Each structure stands twice: as C-alpha cells, then as structure tokens.
Amino acid sequence: MKIGNKEFDVNSTDYKCYVMGILNVTPDSFSDGGKWNTLDKAKEHVAKMIEEGADIIDVGGESTRPGHEQISINEEIERVAPVIEMIKSDFDIPVSIDSYKADVIAEALKSGADLINDIWGFRYEKFYENCGGVPRIAQLAAQYDVPVCLMHNRPDMDYTNYIEDVLSDLQDSVDIALKAGVKKDNIILDPGIGFAKDLEKNLILTNRLEELNKLGYPVLLATSRKSMIGLSLDLPSDERVEGTIATTVMGVMKGAAFVRVHDVKENKRAIEMTRAILNEQKCI
C-alpha cells in the first residue's frame, strides 16, 4: 500500500506493524487537548514523533471524546489545514486527516493530506444526513486516489450478534468505498475501540481482532489511552501508557498492520520486541 510517497508492506508475514502518531490540534481532546494547537508546538511534536519512529502523522481538529461538542466546518478547517501544510513542507512523512466531514476532508486533501481517517467509515451521511447516494467523502477519496481508514461506528449499541454485526457494518463501509471508486488496495479497517461499545465489548473485540482479517483488508488498532484502559486499570488518561502498550502487543500478535498511538517511542519499542519474539518462534 502506498501512502503519500511511502510504501507500506501491509501483507507482511513477519508481523510488521506501522505506527500512526496522533497530533490533536484541539483545545479539548480527552488526553492531550491544548498541547499542540499552535503551529510551533505542532511542529515540535511532529519532529519528536518522527524521531521516535512514527510512520504516519494523524492530524485531528475536532475532539471525538464521549460527550464532545461538534465544531463548525470552518473552525475545523482553520485548525487542520495550516498544520497539514506545515508538515508536508517541513517533513518527509505521510499525513492522515482525522475527520468525517466532507468539506474538511476536501480542504485537507488540497493541503496535502495523504490518507483519510474516518471515524464513521463513510457512514456519517447515511445516519445523520439521510444521504441516499454515494457519500461525498467517499467520492473525494476516489477522486484524489488516497488510502482510507474506515472505522467501525454506529449510532447505538443495539447489537444482535456482536462480532458478526461489527463485521457486517465494516463490510457496509467497504461497499460504500468500492461503489465510489476507491481501490481495494487503498482500504484499511479499524474496529472502532471506544465507539458504540462498552468496556466488555471493547475488550472482546480487542481479543478477537484477528476476526477482522476475514474481510481481507489491513487492520489499524486505535486504543491509545482510551477508556477501556482507564476503566480496566482505574487510571487517568495520562497514566495509560503501559495499558496501551499491552493492547499494541496484542494487536501485533493478531495481525494488525497499524497502531494509532500518542506515545510513539514506547509503542514502537514494544512492537519491535514483539516482532522479534514472534519471528524467532517461526524459525523453530
């Protein structure tokens, strides 16, 4: 898979797993709100994440924490577009845009974004805007020929058969993408830990992550500092590094091609150690 000007071996048999570093340019994200919402601070943090081993930088301009307030399209664009332009100008690393709004995506792609990371898996317009045709965000992905990360999400937790329903929802996202003209090789799937799921469901899905491989697409695991870890360990968001690392190790073992994290260095080291053990085991 090519993201920006970089090649990613998402079909590797040696447990290769890439790190997507989180850059929230928001005042209110649950874990790091207000830390990186100036160009100078954002640039400093991007440089640090690259030094620590990030393979992709994921830029988000609106918090998606539980109970967050939706901001205007213009405000979100004003937050993310200059940051994306700065990263593309000053660094040689792919950039993803974390948004579900077509107008924001359009401006982010014009600014140089290389990947669309959509927490609604191209289904926001279907649920909330009564879109009967192909969502515009999917059309933009096809038009710009960029990879997409389609996350599992839904308006409620009304599951009949939990794992099968998640797989069915993700297949719906894939079908929307393919119908719009997105190439199959440009699709990544995210199980959506923390979205439309309680603690038990988050733990179950993390433990059964390999079942997403049935759909035939590389998987991104995004658990960093989330409530699943906080509730399991009874810890605040700034003390969840070890819990995040545990989920990253599980992700590598179950075939995740990407992890999206705040703490790049620690998770990168955990990935490399896990790969060393698993690849040595294959030689026995």
- DSSP per-residue string spanning 205-237: HHHTGGGGGGG-S-BEE--TT-HHHHHHHT--G
pLDDT tens across 100-134, in order?
Answer: 999 999 999 999 999 999 999 999 988 877 666 78
Q: What is the band of 33 on the pLDDT scale with cuts at 50, 70, 90?
A: very low
Is 269 one of the annotated active-site residues of the chain?
Answer: no
| CA-only gyration radius of the chain, Å | 18
Structure-model confidence comparison of residues 231 and 26, the more confident one: 231
**Average pLDDT score over the chain:** 93
Residue 30 has pLDDT above 50, yes or no: no
pLDDT computed for residue 38 by the predictor: 85
Q: Which of 228, 282, 225, 283 is nearest to 259 (CA)?
A: 225
Q: What is the band of 64 on the pLDDT scale with cuts at 50, 70, 90?
A: confident
Q: What is the mean pLDDT of residues 222-247?
A: 97
Catalytic residue among 226, 240, 254, 268: 226
Q: Among positive and negative, which fits the CA dihedral 180, 109, 147, 75?
A: negative
Catalytic residue among 88, 101, 201, 260: 260
pLDDT tens across 158-189, in order?
Answer: 999 999 999 999 999 999 999 999 999 999 99
pLDDT tens across 184-225, in order?
Answer: 999 999 999 999 999 999 999 999 999 999 999 999 999 999
- Fold classification of 13-282 is TIM Barrel (3.20.20)
pLDDT computed for residue 133 by the predictor: 79
Q: What percent of the chain has pLDDT over 90?
A: 86
Determine the Cα–Cα distance for residues 106 and 104; give it in Å rounded to an integer: 5
Q: Which of 98, 131, 119 is nearest to 193 (CA)?
A: 119
Q: What is the mean pLDDT of residues 34-62?
A: 91
Q: Which of 225, 220, 219, 226 is nearest to 202 (CA)?
A: 226
Residue 228 has pLDDT above 80, yes or no: yes
Q: Which of 125, 105, 135 is nearest to 117 (CA)?
A: 105
Contact 179, 208 (CB under 8 A): no
Boundaries of every domain in the chain: 13-282
